[in-house]
Amino acid sequence: MDLPPVGLGTMAVDDSAVVETALDVGYRHLDTARIYDNEAVVGAGLAASDVSRESVTVATKLWVDDLAATDVRAATEESAARLGVDTVDLLYVHRPRGPYEPTETLPALDTLVDDGLVDHVGASNFTVDQLRTARDHLDAPLAAHQVERHPLFVRDDLLADAREHGYPLVAYSPLAGGQVRDLPELQAVADRHDTTPEAVAIAWLTGTTGVVTVPKASSRAHLEANLAAATLELDDDDRASVESVETERELFPE
């Protein structure tokens, strides 16, 4: 998929005005999930916006409770109804757990693509081995893989797989829950560019070939800042500084 460098992550967003504002300032990728319990909020913001539906990529995710082949269609139809869309642009398997069975779950998703309820199928929080297995059982091309990625947590084997197979790696929690602002390595880069560590973290991600990101923000100022961060150009020394962070901290372990 040709996803924009910065989309809107909506976990814990409970006000449709945030989504409407995001679209107003230029976001064209909205990312939610059934487990966030806010698909209706995202849908309301999309419906209230003057931005055309066709220009926005709407993504949601099937939670582990929805992954039995017999549950996939009903769960997806419910998500589409809450979002107020006829077609879900990108539907992820949120985590390959519970009743997830590649030989059954993935063909059920292919059927949704064939029927026009879903345009693209993605994976989230998969390992390389799980991605390989998914490709073996999915007729539709794997369209995206969403994973936790930020200066405190990097898995380059997942990026290598994305590049090899031609799909974007979608980085969630790019600001590490606000922890990037406390990293001296990022602050040094921010000082050189008269910007913020948060902008540096986003620019580092979007400046990586094959990576896009979906930071969450609520205020117009932060929405605009995150979107603008993708235009910040980091040189090799800047990137080396970000990548010199030795602390590893995963926010959402399996």
Instruction: Report domain extents, the chain.
Output: 8-182+209-232
pLDDT over 90 (residue 12): yes
Q: Which two tokens stand for residue 145?
A: 């893989």
Number of Cβ within a 10 Å radius of residue 220: 14
- Looking at residue 59, what is its pLDDT? 99
- The per-residue pLDDT for range 153-200, each reduced to its tens digit, is 999 999 999 999 999 999 999 999 999 999 999 999 999 999 999 999
Average pLDDT taken over every residue of the chain: 98
The pLDDT tens digits of the residues spanning 17-69 come to 999 999 999 999 999 999 999 999 999 999 999 999 999 999 999 999 999 99
pLDDT 10s digits, 100-153 = 999 999 999 999 999 999 999 999 999 999 999 999 999 999 999 999 999 999
235 vs 56: CA distance, rounded Å: 31
Confidence (pTM): 0.97
Q: What is the CATH number of domain 8-182+209-232?
A: 3.20.20.100
Percent of the chain with pLDDT over 70: 100
Are 214 and 172 in contact by the 8 Å Cβ rule? The answer is yes
Report the alpha-carbon distance of residue 168 to residue 179 in Å, rounded: 25
